[in-house]
Structure 1
């Protein structure tokens, strides 16, 4: 347990530092929204490209990892859709519960993978991002469409945004450079690698800045539906599938890490744009992130 908390503890301290900066409104103005855009569109994609372009992906059991992670995501999407009437939630609230269950915080995932298993963990985490980000986006946008919370014009914009998603594009570029044998030659590789190094600490601080404790009040069962599925049930299914597929310890830990992550802060923006319950989404992001500071180390310690 001490090894797990020693690896993950600094990540949560950076998130809490971000929460303190957000509470103090430092440095103020439009700084953090602009920083989030810089991280999302430049720094984090650079880190994914640098990792995937030079990684020995052959060391990662990609097919089995895909079965575990993507299979779990599809299972919970199906379960939630089939149970939507029993949940007795309004369509906007249902889409937020869906996002809260399926989406995951990539910053914490990649930083946690590197903290737990070094370069091997970072590589497996980058592969997990490449597998899960496209599917999570497709399932969540499909949930908005099926729930009827957006019109045709919003549908077109959401599909266009999906095609331009910087994380999806970065994974595609990194994998292409790797498989082609080009890699990241010369100064280009060093520049992209240096740029990507800033992504994780700044991304974790930005996660903390985005927390909204006041949003936690008044959401009751909708909050607990999503939190229980995301932080409790999803890791159980992933652990079972990891055992059935015979994942090696590093891949198993990365799969469990991504299963036990809190939902993504970007889900709030999607909820606002596509007719979801944005206030519930803010509560899910904040509550899950705070709860994960306890549940995530516990799951990782259990696996180890």
Structure 2
């Protein structure tokens, strides 16, 4: 296969995902969806349709293939390394008051929506089931590390560790994984009519979630802290994915495993980071700018990354 064919194949994987994001942006600007719709739809995705999608994907999966402790452990180590590198760089280059926001924006990706959508587009059922298992590591590590770094720079504002642990234990995505794994492990099945109904419901997830990402993006503005936001965005979308993916290759990961981790590493900054910054009294404008920039450039950086890895025969 020549490079032109590989590039066109790459576009077929990434463009449908990012097209939905930009459609959501357009719908918000044209007034066809509003903030109330985005809040309601996002809650529906997070609390119901996405957990259903993850649950169904895992119970259909071959756990011997998708449950890979080595992959989960490596991703956790890579997340900790990315977090440490971003914090070290922020200590040298970022004003004190913005360091926590910068670090969170530079390491915390939107794996639950964009990463999972890309994984499904590239690898189908494997991407959904293995990605769903990986989300357990993502949710716990991202939330914990975000609280650590934001609390370190927000003065009197402190998050309650009890509430963070409670939120993680109650997280619908975590619960979906915990409930689904025994089903897959013991080969338990559900009635066909329930599986079909679940598929109908779960099929709402990715298009609705991506529209909401685009609609949220439309409401963000790029007026302040552009230099700091650009620095965090380059770290998030170029430097850290390159370092972590190279490290994964050195560790022996190839094929689907390497591709899945790259897509998660290269996901744009999660919209949830804005909510946490706002709650802790941080620079929410900087957080919004990082989300906007990383989401806009993701269509280019992710496509280029998939193209390079595919051309090299690594994924």
TM-score by length of 1: 0.91
**Whole-Å Cα distance in 1 between the matches of residues 150 and 16 of structure 2?**
36
Instruction: Find the counterpart in structure 2 of residue 126 from structure 1.
Output: 132
Shift of 1:117: 1.9
1:186-239 alpha-carbon deviations (Å, 9 max, x no partner):
444333332211100111111100004752222133212211211111221222
2:105 paired with 1:104: no
Shift of 1:44: 0.8
Instruction: Find the counterpart in structure 2 of residue 70 from structure 1.
Output: 76
1:56-95 superposed matches below 5 A:
56-60=62-66, 62-91=68-97, 93-95=98-100
Range 57-66 or range 275-284, more displaced: 57-66
Selected match of 2:274 from 256, 264, 268? 268
1:212-227 superposed matches below 5 A:
212=218, 215-227=221-233
CA pair 28-147 structure 1, distance change in 2 beyond 3 A: closer
Unaligned runs of 5+ in 1: none
Instruction: Find the counterpart in structure 2 of residue 11 from structure 1.
Output: 17
2:60 paired with 1:54: yes
Q: How many residues align?
A: 303
Shift of 1:39: 1.0
Selected match of 1:161 from 145, 158, 167? 167
2:241 paired with 1:235: yes
> What secondary structure does 1:38 align onto?
helix
**Whole-Å Cα distance in 2 between the matches of residues 150 and 262 of structure 1?**
29
* Kept in 1: contact 2:21–2:210 (CA 8 A): yes
1:12-70 alpha-carbon deviations (Å, 9 max, x no partner):
11111100111122244622211111111111111111111221121136233224322
2:224 paired with 1:210: no
> What secondary structure does 1:217 align onto?
coil
TM-score by length of 2: 0.88
Instruction: Find the counterpart in structure 1 of residue 40 from structure 2.
Output: 34
Shift of 1:279: 1.1
Instruction: Find the counterpart in structure 2 of residue 251 from structure 1.
Output: 257
* Kept in 2: contact 1:52–1:123 (CA 8 A): yes
> What secondary structure does 2:124 align onto?
helix
2:142 paired with 1:140: no
**Whole-Å Cα distance in 1 between the matches of residues 182 and 246 of structure 2?**
32
> What secondary structure does 1:211 align onto?
helix
Instruction: Find the counterpart in structure 2 of residue 21 from structure 1.
Output: 27
Shift of 1:292: 0.7
CA pair 2-153 structure 1, distance change in 2 beyond 3 A: closer
Unaligned runs of 5+ in 2: 1-6, 311-315
Shift of 1:185: 4.4
CA pair 88-103 structure 1, distance change in 2 beyond 3 A: closer
1:153-187 alpha-carbon deviations (Å, 9 max, x no partner):
75544443233222222222222332243354444
CA pair 126-158 structure 1, distance change in 2 beyond 3 A: closer
Range 50-59 or range 178-187, more displaced: 178-187
CA pair 266-88 structure 1, distance change in 2 beyond 3 A: closer
* Kept in 1: contact 2:91–2:99 (CA 8 A): no
* Kept in 2: contact 1:60–1:251 (CA 8 A): no
